[in-house]
A and B are shown apart, each in its own frame.
Chain A
Amino acid sequence: MDEFQEILQDFLVESFELVEKLDEDLVELENTPEDLELLNGIFRVAHTVKGASSFLNFDVLTHLTHHMEDVLNKARHGELIITPDIMDVVLESIDLMKTLLNTIRDTSADGGVDVAACVARLDKVSGGTGEVEAVESSATPVEEAPVEEDVSSDDEPDYDNMDDADVEAEIERLLNQRQEEDKAKRAAKIAAGESVLAAPPSPTEDTPAGEPKAKPAPATPAPTPAPVAEEKPAPRAEAKAAAPAKRAPAAVEQTIRVDVKRLDHLMNLIGELVLAKNRLIKINDDVEERYEGEEFLEELNQVVSIVSLVTTDLQIAVMKTRMLPIGKVFNKFPRMIRDLTRELNKKIELEISGEETELDKSIVEEIGDPLVHIIRNSCDHGVEMPDVRAAAGKEETGTIKLKAYNEGNAIVIQIDDDGKGLDAEMLKNKSFEKGIITEKEADTMSDKEAFALIFKPGFSTAAAVTNVSGRGVGMDVVKTNIEKLNGIIDVDSEIGQGTSIKLKIPLTLAIIQALLVGVQEEYYAIPLSSVLETVRISQDEIYTVENRSVMRLREEVLSLVHIGDIFEVDRILDSSEHAYVVVLGLGAQKLGLIVDTLVGQEEIVIKSLGDYLKGIEGVAGATIRGDGGVTLIVDVVALMQMAKGVKASASNQSEAAQITNEKTSASDYKIMIVDDSKTDRMIMRKALEPMGVTLVEASDGQEALNTLKSGEHNFDAMLIDIEMPRMDGYSLASEIKKYNKYKNLPLIAVTSRTGKSDRMRGVESGMVEYITKPYSADYLASVVQRNVNFKSEFL
């Protein structure tokens, strides 16, 4: 059973690959029906699938592919000219084949799909003409075939000039040819038998359709044998020249099929490594600061830079293993356009370029549907009917250009059509009628913003709902899907000239460049792809217009929102005079995000918040920073939406919490002693204990800050040593002074550093007194008493 599953898996993978290529080939075949190499390729696919499926006992699939094979075999031998009508049947059968393959993948069986109708039609195509022209057409190929053989045997001397690979390829080709011929003969026999069986229903049903078809049929084979016979050597020679060239690399190319899960796992591990690298860089910076000038630093620096370099290379290498050419997605469009043109009675040509551009697998999987929507839309609404086009002085055949190219760290997929273009005024009116925008918004809207309206939910420009598009759901789904990939959509259009839609998508989803910003004590990461610029402004540059904060940025008015208002951050720190504005851009939309600090640019690994916290508005995920802490990643799209609901919160700072506790006894005074030396703490304790005040000790700056922030005690003063591990006295003082509520907390430095510059630094960091060691117990007590306004009655 397991073995069967394994074979089945291989069969499915192979079949899907083959079928994918088939679509493209078939459409091409319609344009060049004489291309034998192409026909052979298509025939081989049908044949391979048939063979494998009969081996695996998928009778329905075998039945279908068998009849496809018949038709294709006839075409291959020139008995049948591929007309659009025949192509429709063939394409239909390929669709059925896909459905069957999908069914097999899901259920391991090929039941539940009705192929009878399609098989009957296929039969009619091969058998129907065969009935009328049976003798003639089956006779011609027999005559023709030897001619072909002769032609190819003429080439025989060439074998001497071939190298091994070519010879092998040639042998393979001949073998294939031989096998196919054998099979074709067998198939023909079976087909002959079956067409007799299938023939009865066809005349009754389709005589009118069958007869006109039958009439041109005898006409066509007549002229074809002559030109075909003459023309054949040329394409064949070409094909032969091309074939070895194509096959030779296949022999050299070595590939392994790898389970995607393994690659995902590898990518996760690399993610961890990137995080560790970030952490290493941070530690290196710290060490550098502390041990400046030490010899081992250089060595450490070297190691760190090598690790970081290799990590980056490794990341790129793994990313590349996950890359697939976008051609995989583009392949299905020629077929789609062909079907659409027939359905809509339009003439449209599709030009594809850049299909070799590579994208992450997960993105390739996601990008298909949005592209289908966009291209359908271009066909339906963009390109006009042939007569309209002619009247407008354009060529009757419209062109849709689909191209992909790299641009920096992103890939751009561009869909251009030369249709009627978007009418900004019409879009505005329509949106206004539908209540998507207000009249005022419509007035102030730029053309570019108006074009973006087509992505609004509930918007549809088609007057009539067609089968193709126009239900008003398509384009907003496109936008959501693209934005899910962190992508950006840009629409440009000119009336009468056409529309151009650009999708800009990051190369990979897992690791991105981000701008880290700080607000109060929190940090957030903003994807750098949506950051246009950052500006430093002072508070008085912020204006309030209609309850919304705005600023003037060069010639524009930029609406502003404070990141703290969006993420409900408590304003506990004193906000400085200056603020930074991160200008976010998303398509035509712009927004200024006010933050307290800019931390810098960093490469971050996107991690999900898990099921429990998923879908939190404004948060796209989280990342782990160099220090091991978690930082949330801003969802710029959601943030722009949320910003609309935020009212201007003029710089209203929360009132500093007053620490006016009435002191009723000496022990109500609380003083913190911060010193890394236990002896020093003891000396201070001894000096202050006689006063009867409550003393709390901390052994370094970090601990002191934590104790202070925990809010367990309300301190009246702090005695701070300067030289301490983890966080020294100066840093502690400046940290404390950032908080509004500690603005008036007296900080007293107690240190053996006596230099003038040390004192200056003390004052700068917010210390009010500077006591040098050694000191007398009385002096310390008096300084403390003075600073805490110690009531004399407690003495």
Chain B
Amino acid sequence: MSDKLKDIIKTQSEQQEPGIDHSADIVQLVGFIIGEEEYAVPILTIQEIIKPISWTRVPQTPPYVLGVFNLRGSVIPLIDLRVKFGLPPKNHNDETRFFVLKQGDEVAGFVIDRLTAAIRIKKSDIGPPPDTIASEESMIDGVGKQEGRILTILKVNKLLERDF
């Protein structure tokens, strides 16, 4: 009986193995546009993506911190990535979305201009960030190349880090 079980488990794990190998190579990202550029964050760091809702301004914060909003009973900070990236602020439109990113206990909402798509990209297609940017301080994790477009992959922990 137990031998049979072992056999089954063995064949199952063998079947799964190529899958594991496969996903180890591939990174799943979600792409979005801010200004003219396309950025991406790992799909697992996204708690949810919502349409813009009203928020409350919080005083004594830098301009890119819009304030806080209510996400089903939790008070979550809202950050305008346009302003954070040095672009002029823009009124929200039909394509604007709030990206709610989560890492550990840190949660924050980020305003983006437009959502593009969920992207599967091979690890080998992701290059390091340009040398000109100091690697520790930079928000850029790497640069992905796919079908002629360039994705800037962001470090979620840096995005969620308070820097004021």
Contacts and interface: CB of A to CB of B under 8 A. Distances in A.
Given A568-B60, A618-B60, A613 B73 contact: no
Contacts of B57: 522
A613 B77 contact: yes
A567 B56 CA distance: 12
B39 interface: no
A125 interface: no
A393 interface: no
A629 B65 CA distance: 17
A600 interface: no
Contact of B107 (A607, A610, A628, A712): A610
Contact of A611 (B60, B65, B91, B105): B105
B160 interface: yes
A616 B60 contact: yes
Given A612-B162, A622-B68, A272 B59 contact: no
A522 B56 contact: yes
Given A272-B73, A629-B70, A630-B69, A622 B106 contact: no
A607 B59 contact: no
Contacts of B69: 630
Interface string B92-114: 00000000000001111000000
A632 B58 contact: yes
Given A611-B162, A612-B106, A613-B68, A624 B75 contact: yes
A628 B73 CA distance: 8
Interface in B32-54: 54
Contacts, number: 71
Interface string A587-627: 00000000000000000000111111100111100101000
B73 A617 contact: no
A609 B68 contact: yes
Given A612-B162, A613-B77, A624 B70 contact: yes
A628 B59 CA distance: 20
B73 A616 contact: no
Interface residues of A, number: 28
A181 B72 CA distance: 63
A624 B73 contact: yes
A632 B108 CA distance: 17
B74 interface: yes
A710 interface: yes
B141 to A, nearest CB: 20
Contacts of A744: none
Given A612-B106, A612-B162, A630 B68 contact: yes
A19 interface: no
B61 interface: yes
B61 to A, nearest CB: 7
Contacts of A102: none
A103 interface: no
Given A622-B75, A624-B75, A609 B60 contact: no
Contacts of A631: 56
Contacts of B74: 607
Interface in A710-748: 710-712
Contacts of A567: 59-60
A612 B60 contact: no
Nearest to B68: A630
A611 B108 CA distance: 10
A460 to B, nearest CB: 33
A632 B55 CA distance: 11
A42 interface: no
Contacts of A566: 59
Contacts of A618: 59-60
A337 interface: no
A303 to B, nearest CB: 22
A708 to B, nearest CB: 13
Nearest to B162: A612
Nearest to A605: B73
B126 interface: no
A613 B61 contact: yes
B70 A609 contact: no
A568 B59 CA distance: 6
B60 to A, nearest CB: 5
Interface in B56-88: 56-61, 65, 67-70, 73-77
B61 A616 contact: yes
B162 A630 contact: no
B60 A622 contact: no
B59 A613 contact: no
Nearest to A622: B75
B73 A275 contact: yes
A518 to B, nearest CB: 13
Contacts of A710: 91
Contact of B75 (A611, A630, A712): A630
B75 A617 contact: no
Interface centre among B68, B106, B107, B108 (most CB of A within 10 A): B68
B73 A610 contact: no
Nearest to B73: A272
B47 to A, nearest CB: 13
Nearest to B108: A612
Interface string A564-602: 001111000000000000000000000000000000000
Interface in A519-572: 522, 566-569
Contacts of B162: 611-613
B79 to A, nearest CB: 8
A609 B74 CA distance: 9
Contact of A630 (B65, B70, B106, B108): B70
A613 B65 contact: yes
Interface string B106-126: 111000000000000000000
9 contacts: A272-B73, A522-B57, A567-B60, A610-B76, A612-B77, A613-B162, A616-B58, A632-B56, A711-B91
Interface of B: 54-61, 65, 67-70, 73-77, 91, 105-108, 160, 162
- Sorted from nearest, which 5 A-B pairs have the closest CB atoms? A567-B59, A630-B56, A622-B75, A612-B77, A607-B75
Given A616-B61, A622-B75, A712-B91, 13 more contacts: A566-B59, A567-B60, A609-B58, A609-B77, A612-B108, A613-B61, A613-B77, A613-B162, A616-B60, A618-B59, A618-B60, A619-B60, A622-B68
